[in-house]
Amino acid sequence: MAGEMIHSIVEYLKANPEVARKAREYVKTHPDDVRTALKEVAEKRGWDLSQIDTTTLKNELYKIAA
């Protein structure tokens, strides 16, 4: 499940490079805000983020938006 979620996010960002660039910049400058926002969204949607490899997601984001 978590791998599928990362794959979906990565595919979206690949298809939308401007969004990926903005996301990368925001993550770089506001890491705590991003963490809080993700937790809130996950809670509302019932997602279990404990299984998501955040390092992989961050690396993919940087590759796309580089």
Note whether 21 and 65 are within 8 A (CB): yes
Question: 1-5, 9-13, 40-44, 48-52: which range is least confident on average?
Answer: 1-5
Spatial CB neighbours of 17, under 8 Å, sequence gap ≥ 6: 64, 65
Rounded-to-integer distance, Cα 41 and Cα 59, Å: 21
Q: What pLDDT score was predicted for residue 54?
A: 74
Mean pLDDT in residue range 26-45? 82
Mean pLDDT in residue range 31-52? 79
CB neighbour burial string for 17-29, b if at least 16 within 10 angstroms, e if fewer: eeebeebbeebee
Confidence check: pLDDT of 30 > 70:
yes
Q: How many residues does the chain have?
A: 66
